Amino acid sequence: MRGKTWLIVQHMEWEGPGQHLVAALDEAGVHYRVLEAWHERLPEVGGLAGLIVLGGSPNVDEEDLFPYLAPLKAAIRELIAGGGAYLGFCLGHQLLGRVLGCKVGPLPKKSVGFISAELTPAGLAHPALQGWPPRPHLFKWHGQGVLPPLASGLEILARSAAAPVEALGLAGNPRVVGLQFDNHAGPGDVEKWLKFDAAWALSGSGAEPAAILATAKSLEAEIGREFRRFMENYLRLALAP
């Protein structure tokens, strides 16, 4: 996989790869390109080093409104079947769950802002999460989630009071990871999301924009450090023969 390009799939114009993700990829010397899924065609997955799918407004079953979801699901399925590396955030996490046979649906309440979660025993043992605190801070921006019980062969790596599946992994392939949270985003990204998606995010969530942005700034160093550690672990797994 060395020398190949990673593909980052972006769903919304305002929700690209976050500050911490870009920094981690640049520090690792990873070649990547961003594909704007609403108007660009997916390439053949066989030529990719790996696939990173970001979050966005679509729900996993809204193929009538977002026709690209069908070929994206097929690409994820093909990549995983071939033993490839896949990392999903938020919607990317939900698409992974759906492709692998999980139910995805509305949570009792939107999860927007910063919360504390806990790593499960499987999460504490997962090689991509080594060095993470048992109760990490998570940045959340979603109303749906992967719902237990998980399909056979999947493990819950993290959970919270807001979402029962904050992270999932695939037994036998630690290079396949889904994260319901968006810790790849830094304060500048959070500010942009509040500008472009506040009407949806704040409606019914109880979240306060000023508090969210203040917390993003206060946790920037901690979340950035932990996210880079995760990406170092994950990319090491992805590059393993």
Binned at pLDDT 50, 70 and 90, residue 193 comes out as very high
- Expressed in angstroms, the distance from the first to the final Cα of the chain is 8
6, 83, 89, 146, 205 from 66: Cα distances, Å: 23, 27, 18, 20, 25
At 134-184, the pLDDT tens digits run 999 999 999 999 999 999 999 999 999 999 999 999 999 999 999 999 999
197: burial class by Cβ within 10 Å (0-12, 13-18, 19+)? Answer: middle
What CATH number has the domain bearing residue 54?
A: 3.40.50.880
Cβ–Cβ under 8 Å, residues 165 and 97: yes
| Two structure tokens written together for 106 | 């509305």
What is the domain count for the chain? 1
Query: How many CB atoms sit inside 10 A of residue 241's CB?
Result: 3
Binned at pLDDT 50, 70 and 90, residue 240 comes out as confident
Question: If you ran DSSP here, which 8-state letter would residue 135 be given?
Answer: S
Interatomic CA distance for residues 153 and 80, integer angstroms:
13
pLDDT score, position 3: 61
Q: Which of 80, 23, 26, 83 is nearest to 53 (CA)?
A: 80
At 109-122, the pLDDT tens digits run 999 999 999 999 99
Average pLDDT over residues 123-128: 98
Is the confidence at residue 48, as pLDDT, over 60?
Answer: yes
Helices 209-218 and 220-239, interaxial angle, to 10°?
70
Q: Provide the residue range defining the domain that includes 176.
A: 5-239
Residues sharing a CB contact under 8 Å with residue 211, sequence separation 6 or more, in sequence order = 113
Question: If you ran DSSP here, which 8-state letter would residue 131 be given?
Answer: T
Average pLDDT over residues 48-67: 97
